Amino acid sequence: MARYVGYRRPENTKKTLKKLMHYMGIHKWSLILVALLVLIGSGANIFGTYLLKPVINNYILPGDIPGLIKMVIFMGIMYLCGVLATWGYNQLMVHTAQKVVSEIRQDLFDHTQKLPLSYFDAHTHGELMSRFTNDVDTITEALNNSFAMMIQSFAMITGTITMILVLSVRLSLIVIAFLILMLVFIKFNGRRSRKYFSRQQKCLGSINGFVEEMVAGQKVEKVFNHEKQDFEEFCRRNEALRESSTKALTYSGMMVPTIVSLSYINYAVSACVGGLFVLQGWLDLGSLSSYLVYVRQSAMPFNQFTQQVNFLLAALAGAERIFDMMEIEPETDQGKVHLKDKGNREFVWEVPEEGGAIQEVPLKGDVRFHDVTFGYNKKKVVLSDISLYAKPGQKIAFVGSTGAGKTTITNLINRFYEIQQGTITYDGIDIRDICKDDLRRSLAMVIQDTHLFTGTIADNIRYGKLDATDEEVREAARIANADSFIRRLPHGYDTMLHSDGANLSQGQRQLLAIARAAIASPPVLILDEATSSIDTRTERLIEKGMDALMEGRTVFVIAHRLSTVRNSEAIMVLEQGKIIERGNHDDLLEQRGRYYQLYTGQFELE
Ligand SMILES: Nc1ncnc2c1ncn2[C@@H]1O[C@H](COP(=O)(O)OP(=O)(O)OP(=O)(O)O)[C@@H](O)[C@H]1O
Ligand SMILES: [Mg+2]
């Protein structure tokens, strides 16, 4: 059956093909063997058909029965070889194709992990996901089927045309005329159906996107009674899909019957004209018999070849998208300074010096910003001229209205994004000189939008320190005050969490995130609205536990709640990316500035 793919042709076919060849090259011997087996299979078919001529002319017509039997046995063996070769290349191709795509998938995943966060900001999840699903699938399809089929169809077409020319040049003109006719039809019809298939693909994408959004936004849909509008919108998209699919299938459905009919007419015409040739004595009966078999099997490879070209182009377009993504510059990391564990919870930075010596700088958690200016993109500056310092063991709080740039500051310490101007130092070392893995290992972060992974609660806490013992997991949970709610769950620490911890409350999710940071027990802690969904009483309890945890650690806290920040050594008030006030709680209240306004307006001061 004719199958089509709605596709975008690759923009740089040569380059993509070269890269794909690199992956295929790893398995070149298997692929060469596949090609050989394909050629053997097609050769057996072509040659077997040709043998009809001597069988009829030399054995059947003269009545040589023993010779005929020998010939039939020979032909049988040959066809058997053909069948074995076909079976062999199919099996081999399945294994090779799966290996190739699994290697591509692996490299893609590896590269995705190294991409800078700015890439994820600019691309939707659906887009990234489709690299791993749709695009990889088209490559699998093409390798599984198209690779061998293209070689086979090509061999069959050239073999058949050569053989009919050998058998009778004059008679071949009819076949060639019909083949040209078919080619024109395939091209015309293919263009039409491709147009509608790409439209169908687009409609399908639009329906998928709509359903995805609807599912994700279920609650909001219900709250605002949006069901009717959404249903109407869905029906509209559904109708567009129905229309384009119908047209696409109408055209593609015409393909096979038309080709088959044309090939029957071709066969009938060739048989009549061939018969006349035999009667005239221009052709012998044996040649005509094998000639007619060639005619019958000439149409399919033609059809197959053009279809496989489409598949291959679709696969190349998919491969191009994958390779494009793999070409995106990964996060840069020129850091040469590494963190060394000296045991007994003592860490040092190993700073290489000229001449190969290594200076050891103790890890304390001294973080300083020197005139830092940053924007997520060139158009808009988010932070300007930020200077601040946090001495080891200090608790620094950031407050300010929504969108002021609090989260952004913490993103920079972690080097999630690169700053445009200024420097950030960590224990006196420019953070750009520190190897990223080590930098991040020395910081624990509770981010504003907590993410929990599928796995047990214990697994999720252990994410902060993979080799943590059960006792350490419990201890961290106790510090975060999560222990009591966890123990009340039916399976305790072994409770499975699914889809980002949907079976927990917001506050419980935050407690787990704090436990995860606590278990990592790093010298610097960053808490971004970590306690925003937690009731004041629990927050007090956490604070007590945290006080022990914070002992000797530098902590950056971002909070809207006064109670969380008031005991900080320094409070920075941010407004539109600038620090407009700084000082401790009492100083700031005395100043009667923004801090005073921010909180007196919203909170009762004790
Ligand atoms: N990934 C991003 N890409 C582009 N712009 C961003 C991105 N994240 C934040 N911004 C912009 O940067 C500014 C500061 O955002 P930030 O998240 O730091 O605010 P915030 O102070 O943490 O606010 P909130 O209190 O709401 O958490 C905002 O204007 C926001 O639009
Ligand atoms: Mg924020």
Mind listing the pLDDT tens digit for each residue in 469-481? 999 999 999 888 8
Of ligand 1's listed atoms, the one at least distance from the Cα of 117 is 1
Range of weakest confidence among 454-458, 546-550, 554-558, 592-596: 546-550
Pair of tokens at residue 366: 């001294």
Question: Which residues, by Cβ under 5 Å, contact ligand 2, an ion?
Answer: 407, 448
Query: In sequence order, what are the residues at sequence separation of 6 or more whose Cβ sits closer than 8 angstroms to the Cβ of residue 52?
Result: 286, 289, 290, 293
φ and ψ at 495, to 5 degrees? -65, 130
Q: Ligand 2: distance of its center to the CA of 392 in Å?
A: 24
Through-space distance between the first and last CA atoms of the chain, rounded to whole angstroms? 78
Nearest CA to ligand 1 atom 16: 405
Is pLDDT of 101 > 90?
yes
CATH superfamily of the 393-415+435-600 domain: P-loop containing nucleotide triphosphate hydrolases (3.40.50.300)
Q: pLDDT at position 166, please?
A: 92
Let me know if domain 13-327 sits in CATH 3.40.50.1820.
no
Q: Domain residues of the chain, as ranges?
A: 13-327, 393-415+435-600
Specify the pairing of strand 443-446 against strand 524-528. parallel
Instruction: Tell me the mean pLDDT in the region 30-36.
Output: 93
Top-confidence residue, 599 or 440: 440
φ and ψ at 361, to 5 degrees? -110, 125
Range of weakest confidence among 191-200, 217-226, 432-441, 529-538: 529-538
Q: Which of 189, 147, 96, 134 is closest to 8 using CA atoms?
A: 134
Tally of residues, the chain: 606
Pair of tokens at residue 316: 């190349």
Percent of the chain with pLDDT over 90: 33
Q: pLDDT at position 276, please?
A: 94
Q: Ligand 1: distance of its center to the CA of 448 in Å?
A: 11
| HSE-up (13 A, CA, CB side) for residue 156 | 25
Q: pLDDT at position 41, please?
A: 93
| Substitution site in 115, 408, 580 for ligand 1 pocket (most atoms within 8 Å of beta carbon) | 408
Q: pLDDT at position 606, please?
A: 34
Percent of the chain with pLDDT over 70: 97
pTM: 0.78
Instruction: Give residue ranges with CB within 6 A of ligand 1.
Output: 121, 376, 382, 400, 402-408, 448
Alpha carbon distance 169, 178 (integer Å): 15
DSSP symbols for 151-188: HHHHHHHHHHHHHHHHH-HHHHHHHHHHHHHHHHHHHH
Is pLDDT of 7 > 70?
no
